[in-house]
Amino acid sequence: MNNLSQVWSKRFNHYLTEVQKYMRFVFTGHLAIVLVFVIGAVGYQYSEWLTVVESSFPAEWLVAGIVGFVLSFSRPTTLLKEPDQVYLLPLETKMAFYFKKVLQWTFFSQAGLVAVIYIIGIPLLNEVTELSSTKIWLGLFLVITLKLLNVHVEFNFRYALRGKWVLFDRLIRIIFSILAIQTLLTDNYLLAVIFVLLLFFYNFIWKKSENEQPIPYEHFVKLEQNRMMAFYRFANYFTDVPHLRGGIHRRAWLNFIYTLVPYTKNNTQGYLVFRTFIRTDDHFYLWVRLTAISAIIAAFVNIPAVILIVAAALSFATTIQLKYALLSSKEFRMDLLFPVDSNLRTKAVQKLIRTMVFLQAIVILICSIGQPLFYLPPIVVLLISELTYYLTKNPAKHLY
């Protein structure tokens, strides 16, 4: 028991240290400014919408649906490592203590998000419904209780079925959670209690099945590795994560984009860079995510200054991340064996960045049509991208 307590304490402290090490690069001054503007703009739009929302609006269903959906994502944080599949086998009968710590941390680390989402919905409930403050805050207590249940259910389900049919389990918990919250907010307390009890019973079934199964170390280890890898990929957008290895996928449906590169010797690097960008998950999804965020802000925020600031910040992030990712690679490439001018790669990366930023600007332009000064954000995106490329150092110069 004491050994397992020490194992958890050491791993938990190492985990917190690892998260803090990278998060200090994520929440820098620049990102903080962007977040302040985004949160302020979204809050302003939300408050303006509340003044015109109709009394017939299904606020209870909306709040219950969003919160219930988020509640279902209760993946356990086990902190297990690959060698545990061997070295912890002698302690398998005592692992209940370790998993108790796992469930406690999983609940406390995830409960805050659903609580904040529910609290954001309270102004809408006050505006549309006639619920008293007591009933609304009782709903918050129910949400926290449902979160605790969801954490235990997902852990027990994964334990019993070794990670299979997780989506089916999540769908069931979404339905139970939504119905429990919605019935409480509509004063159907009996039904709310019934749905909570059904979730209790559902958890009891899988808890009983869990007792008949050995610990699924392989599944929990893989789950933990995927969770940490997702965190490292996120952190890699803001700083270099040395041990990160990104995924590679063919994406054959984008093969047509290679026709943009003429089939000649001078375009060898152009073809290689385009192919690297399309097939590398980190590069490709970086552009997709930043473009999607800019498009959403441009479409739904009616404050031109906020749209310009967000578009400029994300254009800067797109350009500098792609530039450093594609030019600073120290890995050996086959093109280094061929007599191709090294400056061609720099030109190819510049062409790729200009192409992708231009597409980003087009998407923002389409999404911002109808907004005041809708033509300015695309111009700002292109201008900031060019300035970023020319004013930042070229990481490729010291590699050749």
* Torsion (CA) 288, 293, 299, 303 in degrees, nearest 10: -150
Residue of 292 and 250 predicted with greater confidence: 292
Contact 388, 316 (CB under 8 A): yes
Phi, psi of 231 (to 5 degrees): -65, -45
Residue of 343 and 397 predicted with greater confidence: 343
Minimum mean pLDDT range among 142-146, 147-151, 238-242, 325-329: 238-242
- pTM exceeding 0.85: no
Phi, psi of 248 (to 5 degrees): -125, 130
Confidence band of 400 (pLDDT split at 50, 70, 90) = very low
Predicted pLDDT of residue 286: 83
Predicted pLDDT of residue 340: 64
Confidence band of 398 (pLDDT split at 50, 70, 90) = very low
pLDDT of residue 318 exceeding 50, the answer is: yes
- Using one digit for the tens of pLDDT, what is the confidence trace for 362-378? 999 999 888 888 889 99
Region 285-305 average pLDDT: 86
Minimum mean pLDDT range among 253-257, 293-297, 310-314: 253-257
CB atoms within 10 A of CB 327: 19
Domain spans, the chain: 2-234, 252-391
Q: Quick one: how far is CA 253 from the chain centroid?
A: 25
Length of the chain: 400
